[in-house]
Amino acid sequence: MYYGHLRHCPVCDNSARRFRSFGSVPREEAECPHCGALERHRLLWLYLQKNTDLLDGRTKKMLHIAPERCLESRLRKCVGDGYLTADIVKVRAMVEMDITNIQYADRTFDAIYCSHVLVYIPDDGKAMRELHRILKKDGWAILLEPINSEKTVDDPSIVETEDRFKVRKYGPDYLDRLRDAGFSVKVTKIHDLIPKDQAIRFGLSQSDDEIYYCTKN
């Protein structure tokens, strides 16, 4: 069904005739049939390749929160012994971690990647400040969240079709929350990174995902 070369996944470097649909409201061309990477994972990998030195094979200290299976083994291979995964449930990662109370010293990590996690955290501001605290002075964090509201709505009673544990919907003012925690934020959209024909080939032409690249002020 998926044999072909019209689509290409930059995460696993495999091609397919098309990507699979994915989501409770199905998104076309969303999931790589080889590695399971979604749009945001493919965009992230392109960004890491083009805009960071994370994949150059040199050892760094990186924290990957709530690690995605399609990325974990690849990041571990590229980053080396300094790669650390963390989750609120230890069975899912190398260490158990509440990101509102991180048990690591100030300025520990060169890089932090956290995707679609803060939307579940009641005190997201505290979590952001903790991530800021443990980031090295010249380090960076990519903190991705879905933007699906005109303005951020905090409401523990929010019920999503695909997940009933979210406590908010983020709006564009998500960036203000990051800045309030001490980050400088650079936003990169798909068309800032690759031309339209490549976006189609990578299954990103219908995606509105963005990269939020955070550094310390």
pLDDT of residue 159: 59
| More reliable by pLDDT, 12 or 158 | 12
pLDDT of residue 165: 75
193 three-state secondary structure:
helix
Say if residues 139 and 110 touch (Cβ distance below 8 Å): yes
**For residue 102, pLDDT beyond 90:** yes
pLDDT of residue 170: 96
Closest by Cα among 75, 121, 81 to 99: 121
Closest by Cα among 141, 68, 76, 73 to 102: 141
Rounded to whole angstroms, how far apart are CA atoms 45 and 40? 9
Helices (H), 53-173: 69-79, 124-134
**Strand ranges (E), 12-152:** 14-16, 20-22, 27-31, 62-65, 83-87, 95-96, 109-115, 135-144
Give me the amino acid identity at 120.
Y
pLDDT of residue 217: 83
Residue 1 binned pLDDT confidence (cut-offs 50, 70, 90): confident
Residue 147's alpha-carbon distances to 88, 89, 183, in angstroms, are: 23, 25, 18
* CATH (one of 3.40.50.150, 3.20.20.70, 3.30.70.1880, 1.10.3720.10) for 38-216: 3.40.50.150
> Among residues of the chain, what percentage have pLDDT more than 70?
97
Rounded to whole angstroms, how far apart are CA atoms 197 and 194? 8
pLDDT of residue 160: 57
Read off the pLDDT of residues 160-185 as tens digits, 9 standing for 90 and up. Answer: 555 557 899 999 999 999 999 999 99
Tell me the average pLDDT across 106-125.
Answer: 97
Residue whose tokens read 């030195």: 53
Domain map (residue ranges) of the chain = 38-216
